[in-house]
Structure 1
Amino acid sequence: MPKSYNSKQLLKGRYSEPGHIYMLTTVTDQRRPVFSDFHLGRLVVNQLRQAHDEGIVNSLAWVVMPDHCHWLVELRTKSLGELMCRIKSRSSVAVNLATQSTNRLWQKGYHDRALRREDDLKAAARYLIQNPIRAQLTSRIGDYPLWDACWI
């Protein structure tokens, strides 16, 4: 299956609405482990926090893994597409400036999953932030530097 088909498939049925909660995932280009470098991972974190601080989203939880990022958000003022375009664009610029590079940072597209009102948000957040443990990057989430949750 060609890559363009996959990214188009991700758009099918995509609907975003302010006030709804979404689990978002985006992956680095060619799954390069760019964010194994803590300082580069913090550049992505800065963009997640900026979107929260500007009222675009209510950021509930996130984790930046070496080659991808998971983010649990309540959407506020923009569509999912606008939000992810902004995050990916601004983090790409920041990482490329820091590394003096012009490399593509992110794969095209992203994955989103809308959570229902009855879904347990804390359980979703716990699942999300336990990614570094499941990936055997750490044995305790407190030892992994690139995550946060609003309940902590």
Structure 2
Amino acid sequence: MLSPPHSRDLRHGRVSEPGRIYLVTTTTWNRAPLFRDIAFARRASRICHSPKAWKDARCLAWVLMPDHWHGLIELHDGDISRVVARYKAMVSSSIKRSTGRVSPVWQKSFHDRALRKDDDVKAAARYIVANPLRAGLVDRIGDYPYWNAAWL
């Protein structure tokens, strides 16, 4: 039986392509439901709306779940790893500053999938923002406060 890959193995061979759109998922440290805390969720959401978080990229759609974040990121320049790391660092810093938290906020790595040129970007965005519905957190996406999409 094969052992699961280490996060460094996941990063090996990762290619960042300007103009490409990536579906990104990152989880909280030990999958703790940190973002059930309204103050934490609001901080992460505000940062997601901040242009400073997306230097070299544009976040087209995102949803913040209790223990993870999904985003659809259009890379303008640079490296997808740096773009995601910037967002995670900004959220971590904000939460730690406000609470004195010492343990990490996020797992070290993230999962990404580059969309193909023929993939339906809006369908990918709908899939992302429908996460709270599939998880049973709400009956209507409009009832969930921690998401956004560029097409609204």
TM-score calculated relative to the size of structure 2: 0.91
| Runs of 4+ displaced beyond 4 Å | 51-55
> In structure 1, what is the Cα distance between the partners aligned to 2:103 and 2:29?
9
Per the alignment, do residues 113 and 51 of structure 1 end up closer, same or farther by CA in structure 2, a change over 3 Å counting?
A: farther
TM-score of the superposed pair, with normalisation by structure 1: 0.91
**CA separation in 2, counterparts of 1:54 and 1:85?**
10
For residues 60-119 of structure 1, the C-alpha deviation after alignment (integer angstroms, 9 at most, x for no partner) is: 100000000000010113311111221111111101122221121101100000001110
Which structure 2 segments of 5+ residues have no match?
A: none
Alignment of 1:14-93 (within 5 A): 14-51=14-51, 55-93=55-93
> Distance between the aligned counterparts of 1:117 and 1:42, measured in 2?
33
Kindly report the root-mean-square deviation, in angstroms, between the aligned alpha carbons of the 2 structures.
Answer: 1.7
Unaligned runs of 5+ in 1: none
SS at match of 1:30: helix
Structure 2 CA distance, aligned partners of 1:125 and 1:27? 18
SS at match of 1:8: helix
Name the stretch that deviates more: 72-81 or 50-59.
50-59
* Number of residue pairs aligned between Structure 1 and Structure 2: 150
Question: What is the percent sequence identity of the aligned residues?
Answer: 44
The one-letter amino acid paired with 2:127 is Y
Change (3 A) 1:52 1:114: farther
**Helix, strand or coil for the counterpart of 1:44?**
helix
2:14 and 2:54 map into 1 onto residues whose CA distance is 24
